[in-house]
Amino acid sequence: MATPVATLIEPHRRDVRAGLEQAANERVPVSATPLRLLAVHAHPDDESSKGAATLARYVSEGVEVLVATCTGGERGDILNPNLAPEIAAKAGTSMLEVRESEMAEAARILGVHHRWLGFHDSGWPDGDPKPPLPEGSFAALPLAEVAAPLVALTRDFRPHVITTYDENGGYPHPDHIRTHEVSMVAWQAAGDADAYPGLGEPWTPLKLYYHHSFNRRRIEALHSHMIGLGLDSPYADWLEDPERGDVSHRITTQVECADWFPVRDAALRAHATQIDPEGSWFAIPTAEQQRVWPTEDYELAASRIEAKLPESDLFAGLR
């Protein structure tokens, strides 16, 4: 027996119910013609650090792009040391409100539509053994329940392509791993009329991609280039970390988007609490990144149309 919709959207989180009502009453513009891409991310700022230049490029080509952010990122720390006094001075302003404002500005810069799925940030569990996840947080709730809003959003927006994280979350934050899991449920269930009844007309996405821009080949290329210029590389420790895996062999699709790296960087700077403008994110000049590695890299994880690999376009086979 199918789980009642009301049970799936009980108010364990701040605005899942409101988000579903917004999706029903304020539809993202959709027509029969534009291609559509849904980028699913765990926290505000992830959309600007993973695949942002790709999104900006596709927006410039007339693709309808929607970013879905699973959590509010409210358990994030203030990682920009210059901003801490400013945030502290804003009496009555919560981290959630600050991050919502940052996300709105980043979406404006990228030119994308945006929806919150409304779950609470699970935080980064620290310690050995790691403590339990916070009750009611995104990664602690049942998978079938937390996937429901994404299924509804997929049916509403009707994307041809979905991008998300791989089974390791890109890195093992519990919210990133859960983002992978809910994305896989939406990929399978959105087109199934028997799954999640009452959450909209079925829609079947055609291609599913994992982000792999933080792959070792790219990091090594940028590192070697900086050393060759006689400059410090921000990646020395990264390359020496034995726990860093390598996903280079999994890459199937490299999207040329160097012209949009400045847009990506502006969107990333909009997340001022999370990104230190003097930190490692901006240690390599944009022009050098454009020269050395002008793509953002993906793995075609699943496809319902014929795919000829390697690709240079997430919409290969659909144009």
Which whole number is the average pLDDT over 185-200?
97
265-301 burial: b if 16+ Cβ within 10 Å, else e: bbbbbbbbbbbbeeeebeebeeeebbebbebbbbbbb
Task: For the chain, give the percent of residues with pLDDT over 90.
Answer: 72
Confidence of residue 93 (pLDDT cuts 50, 70, 90): low
CA-to-CA separations, 37 to 106, 158, 159, 206, in angstroms, rounded:
17, 9, 5, 10
The rounded Cα 6 to chain-centroid distance in angstroms is 27
Say if residue 29's pLDDT is above 60. Answer: no
Say if residue 67's pLDDT is above 80. Answer: yes
Say if residue 30's pLDDT is above 80. Answer: no
Confidence of residue 243 (pLDDT cuts 50, 70, 90): confident
72 Cβ contact list (under 8 Å, min separation 6):
14, 43, 44, 96, 99, 100, 116, 118, 119, 120, 121
Which whole number is the average pLDDT over 93-115?
93
Q: What pLDDT digit, counting tens, does each position of 265-307 carry?
A: 999 999 988 888 888 889 999 999 999 999 999 999 999 999 9
Mean of the per-residue pLDDT values of the chain: 87
| Domain boundaries defined on the chain | 1-319
User: Who wins on pLDDT, 178 or 127?
Assistant: 178
Question: Which homologous superfamily is 1-319 in?
Answer: LmbE-like (3.40.50.10320)
Confidence of residue 9 (pLDDT cuts 50, 70, 90): very low
pLDDT value for 12? 33
pLDDT value for 95? 84
